[in-house]
Amino acid sequence: MKHSLWTGVLLCMAAVPAIAAQNSCERVKSQIEQRIIQNGVPESGFTLSIVPNDQANQPDAQVVGHCANDTQKILYTRTASGNYPVSGESSRDAGTAEPQ
């Protein structure tokens, strides 16, 4: 009986860091989201997602943070809504030619 009790306790202790890491990531994501909104970007103008490091290289996404002991990245992606261009081209540069 004691052996199964200790096994259960050890399994619970092993799960705590994973839960704490995800909670930490959500907290970091929320803080970054608030900073972006405070800088004037509408809430509907972007998304933030938490991905493992090996999935962080996504088109049209920018790494804006990391969490869980640098095992996960937080990606910023512009959305099609609002006045923010999706492709990364600024509205000031759109339609102008490079001087030669």
What's the structural domain count of the chain? Answer: 1
Domain coverage including residue 17: 2-78
Residue-by-residue pLDDT tens, the chain, 100 positions: 555 555 554 455 554 455 555 568 999 999 999 999 999 999 999 999 999 999 999 999 999 999 999 999 999 999 976 555 444 444 444 444 444 4
pLDDT score at 6: 54
- Between the two ends of the chain, the Cα-to-Cα distance in Å is 82
Are 82 and 45 within 8 A, CB to CB? yes
Q: Is residue 55 part of a domain?
A: yes
Q: Is residue 49 part of a domain?
A: yes
pLDDT score at 80: 79
Q: What is the pTM of this model?
A: 0.60
Are 49 and 55 within 8 A, CB to CB? no
Q: Is residue 60 part of a domain?
A: yes
